[in-house]
Structures are given as structure tokens and as C-alpha cells.
């Protein structure tokens, strides 16, 4: 036990002591005065003293520096980064005296500040010269990390790395070099930067990279930043742009689906502009192009499966492999063309089976079909229905050019307006038919290749024009009702659906200005057949020929009259 400690112990026990070579008894009042003078002289706040660890508590370490009371140091100042303590009882340490007396009657001491004062010359020199200091990260604190460089210093989160760092725990326990960028001796604050060290190294590497880089090289890099259009890759001193189109042979919705910040990847130098120091990179270019094997792998007729990546009005895109997509066109979805809008039948993300129809490696296109996996209903229809067969069905839908009829097959048959009636002109389907109406018709054609099933109603009866010349031979005088009067003549109905034209020049022997001056709708007109054109379905008549006793119609005159009526429709 040192003399000072012994004197203090004797005094605290009530003895009168004197300070000298030997411990002697002195009046306690005199010793008290002497001790107070000694304390005031030797124990000043703001100074560093040697002390001995008396005990280690949960929150504080008790230290004896030879004062009348022990001092307290926060136990946190002795903790390693893993929470363990690097001290034990009776260890001698240096401490900084912050306050002579706290509200508990103890000295307030600090080990950290003692070490800081001791290290100030070294830290000041490092800050001025820019020389790095070696330190160990010991803990994560608010805003950054705590680093042991002989004293505790603060490493802000923004100064840890060149790139933003989110996970600080990975640095704890690591020994690295740092630069002192700011310190305050009075407050005992030291601020470090690792980023400054890395920036200097990066600058040196940048020059080396720029002198060595060449187009076509395969290099390693770290993903530094990700955007909507690509990613910036740190090549170790210079950044390169990896565009989204050069990330994969397949479809990439967003670069973040393929890459993460901090990933180390191999890329190819696609383009290097030395003047602007711009580098374009490719990731897919270091991988095999899947299209090189596509022709051998996807043979027409092969059954394949894949995931739907996009659905359009005209078809569905299916990913068969990384970088390989095929299109199922809407026309290849159903034998009956019942699928008009693919978005109602297919969804992105679904898996679908299909058959390879065609492969175009040069244009990177593969045509697929799903209807080929199902029986073709047209095969059965061709075998079942022959031209001339009579069928019955219900009108399913009415369109401008006809009606579609459901006859109990997967395919609907069409009755075109031209096949509704032999004699009616300009048939309006909405006036002739109603949806759900049962109709009878004759099979006109079954076209498997063009997928057309045609029916006709008028074919159920004989064409009245087929033998028209036998019923109305040239020279025959008939009496028929006027059904229409036009500027160029009057139409009369010879029989149901069969009309003939009396041209204005054939209404009277006299000159006629207006046909309505001679005949009216509903009149019964007596006229002679002067021309019959079976192919064009036209009959020409003449009132004046029927009235003239000496009017002779021969073959020559009939042909002349027929020419006159060309261009007039019944």
C-alpha cells in the first residue's frame, strides 16, 4: 500500500497522521487542513491521473486515484465490440478527472478522454498531414459506427463507403484504415472517414482502368446503382452503364428483378468512349445466345410449354426458355375462330402448352398454336355434310351480309343474303329473319381450308329463271300489274318474284316525256315480251308492240331491244 493510500486509510479511521518519510500521528484537524491543501493543489479537474481498478459493477467501474473518494467510470468505456470487458480488478489505468465530486460524492472519471488527451498529438498530426490511421470498428451507434483508434472515434454512415451502405453490422470487428477529417480537443470529438481512403484508391485505379480497358473485354464489377432503364456498374475506378436491353436474352420487366445493389457480376465491354470516359456494358453477351440452338430445339410440330408473359389483342407471347419467346396468334387459338379477344381467355403468369408451327431464327420469331392440340371439328363436318344435303338450325346471329345458323356443330353455318331468294333483290336480313328462328336450308359448300360452311335457302326451290323463256317466249302478249314507275319506264310483275321492264320508249307510239303520264302503280298493263335475258334475269316488254297490229318481233329486233335495256336493273 502506498503512503498516500495508507495516510488516507489511517485518517479515515480517525487517527492523527503526518505526511513524511514515515507515517506518524498528528492532530486530525491539522491533517485535514494539510490534506485539503494537497487535494486543491494536486487533483484538478481536466487533468489525467493514474489509478487502480477497485471493482467492476454493472454500470460503473470504481477507480482509486489516491483521492479521498473513489471515482466512477462508465463500464461502456471498457467494453469490446462484442460486449465483453477488456479489464479486471487491480488493473492500473489512466483516467481523466471530469468532476471532483458528483451528487453521489464520487469523482467523475473518464478513461476515453484520458486516452484522447494522450493521443491528441498523433491525431492532430494525422489530420493535418492526411496520413491514415488504423482502427477497429467496435460498435454500431446512432448515425454510424464507433471506431477504436487508440481512442474512440466516430465514423459517420456517409463516410463508411463510396456507395450508400445500409447494413452496418457487417463492419463490426473489422480493422481498416481511416482518415481524420475533423476533431475537437476541447469536446473530445474525433470524426473519421473511410470513404476518403477508398476515393483515393479509386482515383488511382481509375487511371489504370482507363489505360487498360478495351471493347470486347470481359471484366468484373459491382452493381452500384439501379434505375428504370438499367444499372450502373463499378468497374473499380470507373462506372459503366448496363442498359436493360443488354441484361438478358429474355424479357426484363425491371432491372431490380435481375440485379441487386452490391452484386458482383461479369460483364462485357460493348463500347468505350475514351474522351468522354463512358463505358457501355453487356451482361447477356457473356452468356450463350439461346437463339443459336433454337432451330434445332424447336422443330415445327414439336409440343412445347411455357409461361405467358404478355397478352395482346392479336395474340399471346409465351416464354419457352430464357430469351426465347413464341407467339400464339389469335387465329391459332381455336379451329372455329370463336376466340376474338385473347385477354378474356389468357392471363400473364399462366402456363400453356402449344405446338411449334414455324421458326424464324434470323428475326427471332417462333409461331405457336394451341388449336393443333385439339381435334379439328372441320374434319368431322367435311365427312358428315355433303353439298345438296338439307339441314335445319336456329338463327344464331344476324349480320349485314347474312345470318349465322347453329346446326348443332362447333362451327356455325352462313346463309349469305344472295342465297336467300331467287327473285328478291337487296334482301335485308333483319327483315327476313329473327334470332332463334328455325330455318331449313341446303348445304352449298364445306371448305375445310378456309373454314367456311355455306348454306342456301333459295336452293330448296327450283330457280324460276331456269325455264323463263319457255313460260314467257319473245312475242308473248301478257297483262301484268305495274309495281313501280321510274324515270326510264315501268316495272310489271309477270309472276311472283318475276318482273319485266317496259322502257319509256315502249310505253306508247307517241313521244312520252314522263312514264307516270302514261301508267300508274297498280295499273294493269297489256304488253308484249320483246327480250329475255336469263343470265342477267331481265325481261323487256312493250305496250306499243302489244297494241300495234303490224308490230312484228323477230330475232334481230329482239336482240336490238335487249341491247337497249342493258344497264337497267329489275
Residue that has been written with the C-alpha cell 355434310 in this structure: 385
Backbone angles phi, psi at 561, to 5 degrees: -65, -35
Beta bridge partners of 5: none
Fold held by 213-286:
OB fold (Dihydrolipoamide Acetyltransferase, E2P) (2.40.50)
Backbone angles phi, psi at 12, to 5 degrees: -70, -20
**Grid cell for residue 491:** 316495272
Reported as a pLDDT band with limits 50, 70 and 90, residue 207 is low
Given a contact cutoff of 8 angstroms between Cβ atoms, the answer to whether 406 and 394 are in contact is yes
In the chain, % of residues over pLDDT 70? 86
Q: Is 175 exposed, middle or buried (0-12, 13-18, 19+ CB in 10 A)?
A: exposed
Reported as a pLDDT band with limits 50, 70 and 90, residue 443 is very high
**Grid cell for residue 431:** 327483315
Residue that has been written with the C-alpha cell 420469331 in this structure: 365
**What is the dihedral angle through the alpha carbons of 492, 498, 504, 506, rounded to the nearest 10 degrees?**
-90
Whether 37 has a pLDDT exceeding 70, the answer reads no
Q: Identify the helix (H) or strand (E) that includes residue 30.
A: helix 28-42
Beta bridge partners of 392: 440
Whether 253 has a pLDDT exceeding 90, the answer reads no
Whether 221 has a pLDDT exceeding 70, the answer reads yes
What is d(CA 139, CA 555) in angstroms, rounded to the nearest whole number?
121
Q: Which CATH class is domain 130-198?
A: mainly beta
Whether 34 has a pLDDT exceeding 80, the answer reads no
Cβ atoms within 10 Å, residue 485: 20
Residue that has been written with the C-alpha cell 331456269 in this structure: 466
What's domain 290-373's architecture?
Beta Barrel (2.40)
What is d(CA 264, CA 219) in angstroms, rounded to the nearest whole number?
11
Whether 265 has a pLDDT exceeding 60, the answer reads yes
Looking at residue 118, what is its pLDDT? Answer: 75
Average pLDDT over residues 31-60: 72
Given a contact cutoff of 8 angstroms between Cβ atoms, the answer to whether 387 and 374 are in contact is no
What is d(CA 140, CA 151) in angstroms, rounded to the nearest whole number?
16
Whether 564 has a pLDDT exceeding 70, the answer reads no
Average pLDDT over residues 222-227: 88
What is d(CA 208, CA 13) in angstroms, rounded to the nearest whole number?
76
What is d(CA 322, CA 287) in angstroms, rounded to the nearest whole number?
11
Q: What's the mean pLDDT when you consider all of the chain?
A: 81
Assigned CATH for 3-113: 2.40.50.140
Q: What does the buried/exposed string (b/e) look like for 4-32 if buried means 16 or more CB atoms within 10 Å of the residue's CB?
A: eeebbeebeeeeebeeeeeeeebeeeebe
Looking at residue 527, what is its pLDDT? Answer: 92
Identity of the highest mean pLDDT range in 27-31, 198-202, 297-301: 297-301
Query: For 126-167, what is each residue's pLDDT tens digit?
Result: 777 778 888 899 888 888 999 888 778 899 988 888 777 778
pTM of the model: 0.42
What is d(CA 408, CA 384) in angstroms, rounded to the nearest whole number?
12
What is d(CA 486, CA 496) in angstroms, rounded to the nearest whole number?
20
Same fold for the pair 130-198 and 290-373: yes
Name 245's Cβ contacts closer than 8 Å, sequence gap at least 6: none
Residue that has been written with the C-alpha cell 489505468 in this structure: 93
Homologous superfamily of 468-564: Nucleic acid-binding proteins (2.40.50.140)
Homologous superfamily of 377-460: Nucleic acid-binding proteins (2.40.50.140)
| Boundaries of every domain in the chain | 3-113, 130-198, 213-286, 290-373, 377-460, 468-564
Looking at residue 81, what is its pLDDT? Answer: 65
Backbone angles phi, psi at 15, to 5 degrees: -75, 155
Given a contact cutoff of 8 angstroms between Cβ atoms, the answer to whether 304 and 340 are in contact is no
Least confident of 116-120, 232-236, 386-390: 116-120
Helix (H, G, I), strand (E, B) or coil at 265: strand
Amino acid at each position: 500500500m502506498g503512503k498516500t493510500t495508507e495516510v488516507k486509510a489511517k485518517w479515515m479511521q480517525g487517527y492523527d497522521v503526518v505526511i513524511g518519510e514515515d507515517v506518524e500521528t498528528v492532530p486530525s484537524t491539522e491533517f485535514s487542513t494539510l490534506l485539503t491543501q494537497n487535494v486543491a493543489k494536486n487533483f484538478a479537474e481536466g487533468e489525467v491521473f493514474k489509478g487502480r481498478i477497485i471493482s467492476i459493477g454493472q454500470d460503473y467501474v470504481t477507480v482509486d486515484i489516491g483521492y479521498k473518494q473513489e471515482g466512477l467510470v462508465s463500464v461502456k468505456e471498457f467494453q469490446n465490440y462484442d460486449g465483453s470487458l477488456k479489464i479486471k480488478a487491480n488493473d492500473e489505468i489512466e483516467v481523466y478527472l471530469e468532476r471532483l465530486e458528483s451528487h453521489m460524492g464520487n469523482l467523475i472519471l473518464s478513461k476515453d478522454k484520458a486516452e484522447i488527451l494522450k493521443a491528441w498529438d498523433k491525431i492532430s498530426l494525422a489530420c493535418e498531414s492526411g496520413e491514415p490511421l488504423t482502427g477497429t470498428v467496435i460498435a454500431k451507434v446512432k448515425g454510424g459506427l464507433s471506431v477504436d483508434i487508440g481512442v474512440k472515434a466516430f465514423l459517420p454512415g456517409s463516410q463508411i463507403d463510396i456507395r450508400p451502405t445500409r447494413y452496418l453490422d457487417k463492419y463490426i470487428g473489422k480493422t481498416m484504415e481511416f482518415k481524420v477529417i475533423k476533431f475537437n480537443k476541447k469536446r473530445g470529438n474525433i470524426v473519421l472517414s473511410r470513404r476518403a481512403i477508398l476515393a483515393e484508391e479509386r482515383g488511382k485505379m481509375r487511371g489504370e482502368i482507363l489505360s487498360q480497358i478495351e471493347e470486347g473485354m470481359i471484366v468484373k464489377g459491382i452493381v452500384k446503382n439501379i434505375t428504370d432503364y438499367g444499372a450502373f456498374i463499378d468497374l473499380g475506378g470507373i462506372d459503366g452503364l448496363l442498359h436493360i436491353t443488354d441484361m438478358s436474352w429474355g424479357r426484363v420487366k425491371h432491372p431490380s428483378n435481375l440485379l441487386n445493389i452490391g452484386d458482383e457480376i461479369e460483364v462485357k465491354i460493348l463500347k468505350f468512349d475514351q474522351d468522354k470516359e463512358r463505358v457501355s456494358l453487356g451482361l447477356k453477351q457473356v452468356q450463350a445466345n439461346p437463339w443459336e440452338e433454337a432451330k434445332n430445339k424447336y422443330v415445327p410440330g414439336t409440343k412445347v410449354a411455357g409461361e405467358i408473359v404478355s397478352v395482346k389483342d392479336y395474340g399471346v407471347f409465351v416464354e419457352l426458355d430464357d430469351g426465347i419467346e413464341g407467339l400464339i396468334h389469335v387465329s391459332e387459338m381455336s379451329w372455329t375462330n370463336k376466340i376474338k379477344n385473347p385477354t378474356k381467355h389468357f392471363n400473364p403468369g399462366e402456363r400453356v402448352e402449344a405446338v411449334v408451327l414455324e421458326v424464324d431464327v434470323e428475326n427471332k420469331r417462333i409461331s405457336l398454336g394451341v388449336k393443333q392440340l385439339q381435334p379439328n371439328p372441320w374434319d368431322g363436318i367435311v365427312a358428315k355434310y355433303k353439298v345438296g344435303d338439307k339441314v335445319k338450325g336456329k338463327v344464331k346471329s344476324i349480320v349485314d351480309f347474312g345470318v349465322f345458323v347453329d346446326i348443332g356443330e362447333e362451327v356455325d353455318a352462313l346463309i349469305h343474303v344472295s342465297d336467300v331468294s331467287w327473285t328478291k333483290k337487296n334482301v335485308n336480313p333483319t327483315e327476313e329473319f329473327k334470332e332463334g328462328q328455325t330455318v331449313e336450308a341446303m348445304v352449298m359448300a364445306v371448305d375445310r381450308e378456309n373454314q367456311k360452311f355455306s348454306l342456301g335457302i333459295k336452293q330448296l326451290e327450283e330457280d324460276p329463271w331456269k325455264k323463263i323463256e319457255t313460260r314467257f317466249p319473245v312475242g308473248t302478249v301478257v297483262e301484268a300489274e305495274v309495281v313501280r314507275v321510274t324515270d326510264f319506264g315501268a316495272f310489271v310483275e309477270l309472276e311472283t318474284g318475276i318482273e319485266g321492264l317496259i322502257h319509256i320508249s315502249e310505253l306508247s307510239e307517241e313521244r312520252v316525256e314522263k312514264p307516270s303520264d302514261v301508267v300508274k302503280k297498280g295499273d294493269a298493263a297489256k304488253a308484249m315480251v320483246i327480250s329475255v335475258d336469263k343470265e342477267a334475269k331481265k325481261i323487256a316488254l312493250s305496250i306499243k308492240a302489244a297494241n300495234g297490229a303490224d308490230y312484228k318481233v323477230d330475232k334481230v329486233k329482239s336482240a336490238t331491244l335487249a341491247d337497249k335495256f342493258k344497264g337497267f336493273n329489275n
